[in-house]
Amino acid sequence: AIHTLEMVDLVLCEDTRITSELLHHLGIKKKLIHSDDHTEDSLKSMVLCKLQEGLNIGLVTDRGTPIISDPGYRIVEYISKHGYNVISLPGPTAFVPALTMSGIYPSPFLFYGFLNSKTSKREKELESLKRLPYTIIFYEAPHRIHDMLTSLLKVFGNRNIALCREISKKYEEAIRGTTEEVLEIVDSLKGEMVVVVEGTQVQEDFSSMTILEHITLYLEDGMTEKEAIKKVAVERDIPKSVVYKEYHTGK
């Protein structure tokens, strides 16, 4: 990573003040260009022009890994479509250590990132996830963590979770328990937070539903028609062709 910062011609960064502190510490002098979620679109053409001139460009964010709930995606997508290479170096990211310290079964897992800040939209997102048997990982800001856990309890029920905060910092802590137990103390917690949630353990009984109702359930969760038909066929242990025919006849 240090060698890469030494060799690039300029650096796109989320906050020039923070990145300048890092480069000063490393004894590296580079031109810095501010690039975040609000400025990426306006910078894409400039970045492409610099690459066409033969320059190498670095991209860093203030913490974590660029693009993982951080800026960078729009520029990477744009220059990739124009045939330029993107090299990603592994670095600090919060969800991997949160998962490994959580004590919750690690595989398979789904990294979701931030839920919507509005209650109705957040709970709709959670509704689409609640039937998944995978461990799910969320990021959350400290001023929204109480509301997020309240929505989680309402939609997912009282599952086992781990709230991991201030990862790699002085006051790093992993709090393990049920959602209700963590909610009791969450108002006293500060810092950047990762919430690791166990997947659903409930095997639902779909025998009272028609095939059309069963498929519609998953369509409302955001699945495609093809995905929903495949899942219903597995859950009912019948051929996909039968489910397909019943669904389209019923529809």
Residue 165's CB is within 10 A of a number of other CB atoms, namely 23
The answer, yes or no, to whether residue 30 has pLDDT greater than 80, is yes
Inter-residue long-range contacts of 125-134, CB under 8 Å, 24+ positions, other chains counted: 126/151, 126/152, 126/155, 126/156, 127/155, 127/221, 128/221, 128/222, 130/155, 130/156, 130/200, 131/200, 131/204, 131/221, 132/199, 132/200, 133/199, 133/200, 133/201, 134/108, 134/109, 134/110, 134/199
Calculate the average pLDDT of the chain: 92
pLDDT, greater one: 122 or 214: 122
Using pLDDT thresholds of 50, 70 and 90, give the confidence band for residue 226.
confident
Token pair 């400025």 is at which residue? 39
92 vs 13, 40, 153, 163, CA distance in Å?
16, 22, 30, 18
The torsion of the CA quartet 91, 93, 96, 101, rounded to 10 degrees, works out to 110
pLDDT category at 202 given cuts 50, 70, 90 is low
- Say whether pLDDT at 208 is over 80: no
Name the least confident of 14-23, 72-81, 109-118, 125-134: 125-134
pLDDT at 81: 96
Q: Which amino acid is at 150?
A: T
Nearest C-alpha neighbor of 147 from the set 160, 138, 136: 138
Instruction: Tell me the backbone φ, ψ of residue 160, rounded to 5 degrees.
Output: -75, 135
Mean pLDDT to the nearest integer, 229-233: 85
Is the pLDDT reported for residue 250 higher than 80?
A: no
Residue type, position 229, single letter: I
Q: What is the pLDDT at residue 118?
A: 96
**Confidence category of residue 82, pLDDT binned at 50, 70, 90:** very high
Task: Please tell me what DSSP assigns to residue 117.
Answer: S
- Comparing C-alpha atoms, which of 82, 69, 84, 79 is closest to residue 36? 69
Q: Which phi and psi angles does 152 have, rounded to 5°?
A: -60, -45
Taking only the tens place, the pLDDT of each residue in 149-176 is: 999 999 999 999 999 999 999 999 999 9
Strand-pairing partners, residue 251, are none
Flag whether pLDDT at 251 surpasses 80. Answer: no
For the chain, the first-to-last Cα distance in angstroms comes to 55
Q: For the residues of 170-189, what is the DSSP string, one character each?
A: TT-EEEEEEHHHHHHHGGG-
243 or 97: whose pLDDT is higher? 97
d(C-alpha 133, C-alpha 202), whole Å: 9
pLDDT class for 241, splitting at 50, 70, 90? Answer: confident
Task: Determine the pLDDT at residue 131.
Answer: 85
Give the pLDDT score at 205.
65
Q: Which of the four pLDDT bands, split at 50, 70 and 90, describes residue 36? A: very high
For 100-144, the pLDDT digits (tens) are: 999 999 989 999 999 999 999 999 999 889 888 899 999 999 999
The per-residue pLDDT for 238 is 86
Q: What is the mean pLDDT of residues 89-97?
A: 89
> What is residue 12's predicted lDDT score, i.e. its pLDDT?
97
| Per-state percent for the chain, helix, strand, coil, to nearest 5 | 45, 15, 35
State how far Cα 33 lies from the chain centre: 26
What angle separates helix 211-220 from helix 225-236, to the nearest 10 degrees?
Answer: 130
| Antiparallel, parallel or unpaired: β 135-140 and 193-197 | antiparallel
- Which of the pair, 6 or 214, is modelled with greater confidence? 6
